[in-house]
A and B are shown apart, each in its own frame.
Chain A
Amino acid sequence: MPVNFSKNINMGVKLQAKSSRNSLFEVGLLVIICVLFVWFILLPKKAEVDKKDGDLAKVQAQQADIHGQLATLQNLIGNLPANTGNISNLDQAIPLDGNTVRLQLLIQSIAQSAGVTVGNINISGNPNGEVVGDPALSANPYAVQRNLQTMDGTIYVIGTFNQLEVLLKKFENSGRLIDVGSLAIGQGSEGNLNMTVTFKAYYFAP
């Protein structure tokens, strides 16, 4: 009997050991599943979310920037009507058309106000540039791409030194931006001097 009893006991221990091994195997399997899940699924997903989070921050910053720029643009556009005086000065300094006749009239007027006698005025603009008569441009003058362009001119005048100096100063301080390129002063008749000035004026046209 004790022998049989002992056999029964041995069988119980084996069963328990087997069950315990199974449990350990299950624990090990769970650990492996957890590790694999973390390594191959969770961490890549986390990295993807982190990257998207960074992208979102960039897009939101860009959005805020563009929104700010839009607000600035609307604010500046809103300020345009209040600055008609400054715009008028700007148009006087660099007009939006290459009208050479208007420049010639201005130069003539400056020369007359300086008291010199005008011998000759020559002005040349862009030979291909349209001055007037463009219906599309007249309808929407700001829809076209404009560039800074120049008109070159020469003026020959006769006068006293003081008059020539006044003429130069008027050129230099004119509301229309005029750059004197060179000047030559020589002796004229009856104690007068003659002066030849080459100059450049600018306009902002298509």
Chain B
Amino acid sequence: MAQINLLKQSSTGGGLNKDISKILIWVFLVILALLLAYYGWLFFESKNIDNKIGAAQIQINNDNQAALAAKGRGELLTRQQQLRSLSGLIASHIYWSQLFKPLAAATLKNASYNSLTVSSGNNLTLSVTVPTLEDVDKYMQVFDLPQFYQNFSDVNIGGFSKFQDKNSTSIKFEVKMQYNPKIIQYQPPSDNAG
């Protein structure tokens, strides 16, 4: 009887292991099948994406061709370049006439200019006539005042000569100075004019 009991126990344990193994086999077979199905989906998804990329590239090419063939494109590009060039030039456009007002403000009442030469590099050369040597001194002193040296600086005076007119004697000399380039840049008209 004891042997029979032993046989029963042994037989039952082996069957259980076998069942678990079978279940495990089925489980892994199902997992493998799912993995294969997922691979299949990935395969078709990859093809699908390839098709979409191809279609998008065809659309890009079509759009590029349409852009290149667009009637009026040449004129538009020319106008854009023209406008861009004009914007750059206007930004650096200078107004020499704006130099006269601050120069007149910095000039002694009894001084007169015989010649004026301005050029790029902010150089200004003047030939000035004043009645006396004291006036030359006064003329120079003006450029030590802040409201004037912010517009005109590095003033050099030389080439003095004395000449006699019909009725009077005058001193003639040459002035070289640097002007502030902001003077000749565009200044929008002030609102309080008028």
Contact of A63 among B45, B60, B75, B94 (CB under 8 A): B60
Q: Is A16 an interface residue (CB 8 A)?
A: yes
Q: Is B82 an interface residue (CB 8 A)?
A: yes
Output the nearest chain A residue to B7 by Cβ-Cβ distance. Answer: A9
Output the nearest chain A residue to B100 by Cβ-Cβ distance. Answer: A165
- Bound-complex Cα distance A56 to B92 (A): 46
Please tell me which stretch of A31-39, A97-105, A121-129 contacts chain B, meaning at least 4 of its Cβ atoms lie within 8 angstroms of it.
A31-39
Chain A residues, CB < 8 A from B22: 23
- Distance (whole angstroms) from the CB of A23 to the closest CB of chain B: 3
| Contacting pair B32 A37 (CB below 8 A) | yes
Given A27-B25, A74-B70, A177-B93, do A2 and B115 touch, yes or no (CB 8 Å)?
A: no
Contact of B75 among A56, A60, A70, A80 (CB under 8 A): A80
| Contacting pair A181 B119 (CB below 8 A) | yes
Contact with A along B13-56 (1 / 0, CB 8 A): 01101100110110011011001101100110110011011001
Tell me which residues from 168 to 193 in chain A have a Cβ below 8 Å from any Cβ of chain B: 168-169, 172, 177, 179-187
Chain B residues, CB < 8 A from A41: 39
Interface size on A, residues (CB 8 A): 71
Chain A residues, CB < 8 A from B3: 2, 5-6, 9
Contact with A along B56-85 (1 / 0, CB 8 A): 110110011011001111111111011101
| Contacting pair B31 A16 (CB below 8 A) | no
| Contacting pair A70 B14 (CB below 8 A) | no
Contact of A172 among B31, B53, B97 (CB under 8 A): B97
Given A19-B18, A56-B52, do A172 and B93 touch, yes or no (CB 8 Å)?
A: yes
Given A26-B25, A74-B70, do A56 and B14 touch, yes or no (CB 8 Å)?
A: no
- Bound-complex Cα distance A91 to B86 (A): 10
| Contacting pair B95 A20 (CB below 8 A) | no
- Distance (whole angstroms) from the CB of A120 to the closest CB of chain B: 18
- Bound-complex Cα distance A35 to B35 (A): 10
Given A56-B56, A165-B97, A183-B118, do A94 and B25 touch, yes or no (CB 8 Å)?
A: no
| Contacting pair B63 A94 (CB below 8 A) | no
| Contacting pair A16 B14 (CB below 8 A) | yes
Chain A residues, CB < 8 A from B46: 45, 48-49, 52
Q: Is B96 an interface residue (CB 8 A)?
A: yes
| Contacting pair B59 A46 (CB below 8 A) | no
Given A23-B21, A45-B39, A45-B42, do A184 and B115 touch, yes or no (CB 8 Å)?
A: yes
A-B complex: 9 closest residue pairs judged by Cβ atoms:
A23-B21, A142-B74, A16-B14, A30-B28, A182-B119, A77-B72, A186-B115, A168-B97, A52-B49
* Known contacts A19-B14, A46-B42, A59-B53, then 16 further A-B pairs from the complex at CB < 8 Å, ordered by chain A residue: A13-B10, A16-B15, A19-B18, A23-B24, A23-B25, A42-B42, A52-B50, A66-B60, A70-B67, A77-B76, A80-B79, A143-B74, A146-B81, A182-B120, A183-B96, A202-B89
